[in-house]
Structure 1
Amino acid sequence: MGSKASKILSDPKMAAELQNFIKGAVAQDKVVVFSKSYCPYCKLAKDVFVKVKQPIKVYELDEREDGNEIQETLAQITGFRTVPQVFINGNCVGGGSDVKALFDSGKLQPMLIG
Protein backbone atom coordinates (compact mmCIF):
# COMPACT_ATOMS: atom_id res chain seq x y z
CA MET A 1 0.00 0.00 0.00
CA GLY A 2 1.34 3.41 -0.92
CA SER A 3 2.14 5.97 1.75
CA LYS A 4 -0.69 8.21 0.56
CA ALA A 5 -3.24 5.42 1.04
CA SER A 6 -1.76 4.62 4.45
CA LYS A 7 -1.99 8.25 5.49
CA ILE A 8 -5.59 8.66 4.36
CA LEU A 9 -6.77 5.37 5.85
CA SER A 10 -5.08 6.13 9.15
CA ASP A 11 -7.19 9.30 9.33
CA PRO A 12 -10.48 8.07 10.86
CA LYS A 13 -12.47 10.86 9.19
CA MET A 14 -11.11 10.05 5.71
CA ALA A 15 -11.55 6.30 6.26
CA ALA A 16 -15.19 6.88 7.29
CA GLU A 17 -15.77 9.07 4.23
CA LEU A 18 -14.43 6.35 1.94
CA GLN A 19 -16.61 3.72 3.60
CA ASN A 20 -19.63 5.99 3.23
CA PHE A 21 -18.79 6.60 -0.43
CA ILE A 22 -18.61 2.85 -1.12
CA LYS A 23 -21.79 2.08 0.84
CA GLY A 24 -23.61 4.89 -0.94
CA ALA A 25 -22.33 3.80 -4.34
CA VAL A 26 -23.44 0.18 -3.95
CA ALA A 27 -26.84 1.26 -2.58
CA GLN A 28 -27.49 3.66 -5.46
CA ASP A 29 -27.29 1.24 -8.41
CA LYS A 30 -28.42 -2.37 -8.87
CA VAL A 31 -25.00 -3.42 -10.19
CA VAL A 32 -21.76 -1.67 -9.23
CA VAL A 33 -18.32 -2.73 -10.44
CA PHE A 34 -15.11 -1.43 -8.87
CA SER A 35 -12.68 -2.01 -11.70
CA LYS A 36 -9.39 -1.10 -13.30
CA SER A 37 -9.58 -0.16 -16.97
CA TYR A 38 -6.71 -2.46 -18.04
CA CYS A 39 -7.72 -5.54 -16.00
CA PRO A 40 -8.85 -8.60 -18.04
CA TYR A 41 -10.97 -9.96 -15.15
CA CYS A 42 -12.71 -6.59 -14.89
CA LYS A 43 -13.46 -6.72 -18.62
CA LEU A 44 -14.79 -10.26 -18.19
CA ALA A 45 -17.22 -9.09 -15.49
CA LYS A 46 -18.35 -6.03 -17.45
CA ASP A 47 -18.83 -8.13 -20.61
CA VAL A 48 -21.17 -10.52 -18.76
CA PHE A 49 -23.47 -7.62 -17.86
CA VAL A 50 -23.41 -6.40 -21.48
CA LYS A 51 -24.52 -9.91 -22.55
CA VAL A 52 -27.51 -9.84 -20.20
CA LYS A 53 -28.23 -6.19 -21.09
CA GLN A 54 -27.90 -5.08 -17.47
CA PRO A 55 -26.85 -1.45 -16.96
CA ILE A 56 -23.98 -1.16 -14.51
CA LYS A 57 -22.19 1.61 -12.67
CA VAL A 58 -18.43 1.25 -13.08
CA TYR A 59 -15.79 2.96 -10.96
CA GLU A 60 -12.41 2.68 -12.73
CA LEU A 61 -10.04 2.87 -9.75
CA ASP A 62 -6.95 3.42 -11.91
CA GLU A 63 -8.54 6.59 -13.30
CA ARG A 64 -9.38 8.13 -9.92
CA GLU A 65 -7.13 10.10 -7.56
CA ASP A 66 -8.58 8.15 -4.62
CA GLY A 67 -8.56 4.78 -6.40
CA ASN A 68 -5.92 3.16 -4.16
CA GLU A 69 -7.72 4.35 -1.05
CA ILE A 70 -11.03 3.01 -2.35
CA GLN A 71 -9.38 -0.32 -3.11
CA GLU A 72 -7.90 -0.53 0.40
CA THR A 73 -11.27 0.34 1.93
CA LEU A 74 -12.97 -2.31 -0.22
CA ALA A 75 -10.46 -4.82 1.15
CA GLN A 76 -11.53 -3.89 4.69
CA ILE A 77 -15.21 -4.27 3.78
CA THR A 78 -15.11 -7.43 1.63
CA GLY A 79 -11.97 -9.17 2.85
CA PHE A 80 -10.27 -9.18 -0.55
CA ARG A 81 -8.25 -6.54 -2.35
CA THR A 82 -8.42 -7.73 -5.95
CA VAL A 83 -10.54 -6.15 -8.67
CA PRO A 84 -13.09 -6.31 -9.96
CA GLN A 85 -15.32 -6.22 -6.96
CA VAL A 86 -18.89 -6.64 -8.16
CA PHE A 87 -21.89 -5.68 -6.06
CA ILE A 88 -25.45 -6.69 -6.93
CA ASN A 89 -28.24 -5.15 -4.86
CA GLY A 90 -25.65 -3.92 -2.36
CA ASN A 91 -24.02 -7.32 -1.84
CA CYS A 92 -20.55 -8.25 -3.02
CA VAL A 93 -20.78 -11.29 -5.31
CA GLY A 94 -17.04 -11.50 -5.97
CA GLY A 95 -14.90 -10.82 -9.02
CA GLY A 96 -14.80 -11.52 -12.74
CA SER A 97 -14.60 -15.31 -12.52
CA ASP A 98 -17.39 -15.34 -9.91
CA VAL A 99 -19.70 -13.27 -12.12
CA LYS A 100 -18.94 -15.49 -15.12
CA ALA A 101 -19.67 -18.61 -13.03
CA LEU A 102 -22.98 -17.10 -11.84
CA PHE A 103 -23.88 -16.35 -15.46
CA ASP A 104 -22.85 -19.80 -16.73
CA SER A 105 -24.86 -21.54 -13.99
CA GLY A 106 -27.97 -19.47 -14.65
CA LYS A 107 -27.87 -17.90 -11.18
CA LEU A 108 -26.98 -14.36 -12.29
CA GLN A 109 -30.15 -13.36 -14.11
CA PRO A 110 -32.51 -14.07 -11.15
CA MET A 111 -30.28 -11.84 -8.97
CA LEU A 112 -30.88 -8.98 -11.39
CA ILE A 113 -34.68 -9.17 -11.35
CA GLY A 114 -36.62 -6.90 -9.06
Structure 2
Amino acid sequence: MANIEIYTSPTCGYCHAAKRLLAQKGVSYTEVDVVRDPSRRPEMVSRAGGRRTVPQIFIDGDHVGGCDDLYALEEAGKLDPLLAA
Protein backbone atom coordinates (compact mmCIF):
# COMPACT_ATOMS: atom_id res chain seq x y z
CA MET A 1 0.00 0.00 0.00
CA ALA A 2 1.25 3.46 -0.89
CA ASN A 3 2.31 6.04 1.68
CA ILE A 4 -0.09 8.97 1.32
CA GLU A 5 0.38 12.39 2.90
CA ILE A 6 -2.13 15.22 2.64
CA TYR A 7 -1.68 18.77 3.90
CA THR A 8 -5.04 20.25 4.89
CA SER A 9 -6.93 22.85 6.84
CA PRO A 10 -10.11 22.14 8.82
CA THR A 11 -12.44 24.49 6.92
CA CYS A 12 -11.32 23.54 3.39
CA GLY A 13 -14.05 21.89 1.33
CA TYR A 14 -11.51 20.64 -1.22
CA CYS A 15 -9.57 18.97 1.60
CA HIS A 16 -12.71 17.18 2.75
CA ALA A 17 -13.47 16.07 -0.83
CA ALA A 18 -9.95 14.70 -1.30
CA LYS A 19 -10.08 12.84 2.02
CA ARG A 20 -13.51 11.48 1.11
CA LEU A 21 -12.17 10.03 -2.15
CA LEU A 22 -9.23 8.43 -0.34
CA ALA A 23 -11.62 6.99 2.25
CA GLN A 24 -13.80 5.55 -0.54
CA LYS A 25 -10.67 3.89 -1.89
CA GLY A 26 -10.08 2.35 1.55
CA VAL A 27 -6.60 3.76 1.93
CA SER A 28 -5.08 5.33 4.99
CA TYR A 29 -3.17 8.57 4.90
CA THR A 30 -1.20 10.90 7.12
CA GLU A 31 -2.88 14.27 7.49
CA VAL A 32 -0.95 17.43 8.31
CA ASP A 33 -3.21 20.28 9.41
CA VAL A 34 -1.31 23.45 8.48
CA VAL A 35 -3.67 25.62 10.53
CA ARG A 36 -3.11 23.75 13.78
CA ASP A 37 0.59 23.34 13.01
CA PRO A 38 1.57 26.41 10.95
CA SER A 39 5.25 25.51 11.21
CA ARG A 40 4.54 22.78 8.64
CA ARG A 41 3.23 25.20 5.96
CA PRO A 42 6.72 26.16 4.65
CA GLU A 43 7.49 22.44 4.35
CA MET A 44 4.31 21.94 2.30
CA VAL A 45 5.08 24.91 0.03
CA SER A 46 8.62 23.66 -0.55
CA ARG A 47 7.55 20.09 -1.28
CA ALA A 48 4.68 21.26 -3.52
CA GLY A 49 6.92 23.37 -5.76
CA GLY A 50 5.65 26.68 -4.42
CA ARG A 51 1.95 25.86 -4.24
CA ARG A 52 0.41 27.46 -1.16
CA THR A 53 -3.17 26.20 -1.29
CA VAL A 54 -4.53 23.15 0.47
CA PRO A 55 -4.88 20.31 0.01
CA GLN A 56 -1.48 19.26 -1.27
CA ILE A 57 -1.27 15.52 -1.76
CA PHE A 58 1.77 13.25 -1.95
CA ILE A 59 1.80 9.56 -2.83
CA ASP A 60 5.03 7.74 -1.98
CA GLY A 61 6.75 11.11 -1.71
CA ASP A 62 5.68 12.25 -5.19
CA HIS A 63 3.59 15.40 -5.42
CA VAL A 64 0.19 14.58 -6.94
CA GLY A 65 -1.23 18.09 -6.57
CA GLY A 66 -4.49 19.23 -5.09
CA CYS A 67 -8.03 17.90 -4.97
CA ASP A 68 -8.77 18.52 -8.66
CA ASP A 69 -5.56 16.72 -9.60
CA LEU A 70 -6.50 13.75 -7.41
CA TYR A 71 -9.95 13.50 -9.03
CA ALA A 72 -8.39 13.84 -12.50
CA LEU A 73 -6.17 10.85 -11.74
CA GLU A 74 -9.26 8.93 -10.64
CA GLU A 75 -11.18 9.82 -13.80
CA ALA A 76 -8.21 8.80 -15.96
CA GLY A 77 -7.96 5.43 -14.20
CA LYS A 78 -4.49 6.27 -12.89
CA LEU A 79 -5.21 6.65 -9.17
CA ASP A 80 -5.69 2.98 -8.23
CA PRO A 81 -2.27 1.91 -9.60
CA LEU A 82 -0.61 4.72 -7.62
CA LEU A 83 -2.42 3.71 -4.45
CA ALA A 84 -1.53 0.04 -4.88
CA ALA A 85 2.18 0.69 -5.30
TM-score range, shorter chain: 0.7 to 0.9
Q: How does 1:1-114 map to 2 (within 5 A)?
A: 30-64=3-37, 67=38, 69-78=39-48, 79-114=50-85
How much identity, in percent, do the aligned residues show? 30
**Amino acid across the alignment from 1:91:** D
2:47, 2:33 → 1: CA distance?
A: 18
**Amino acid across the alignment from 2:8:** S
- Tell which has more relative contact order, 1 or 2 (C-alpha 8 A, sep 6+): 2
1:90, 1:70 → 2: CA distance?
A: 16
Q: TM-score, normalised on structure 1? A: 0.67
Q: State the 1:60 CA deviation.
A: 1.3
SS class of match (1:92): strand
Stretches of structure 2 lacking an aligned partner (at least 5 in a row): none
1:30, 1:73 → 2: CA distance?
A: 17
More strand by share: 2
* Greater Rg by CA: 1
Deviations 1:2-38 (A, max 9, x none): xxxxxxxxxxxxxxxxxxxxxxxxxxx7001010011
Q: State the 1:76 CA deviation.
A: 2.7
Q: Compute the RMSD of aligned alpha carbons.
A: 1.4
Stretches of structure 1 lacking an aligned partner (at least 5 in a row): 1-28
Q: TM-score, normalised on structure 2? A: 0.87
* Total equivalences in the alignment: 83
More helix by share: 1
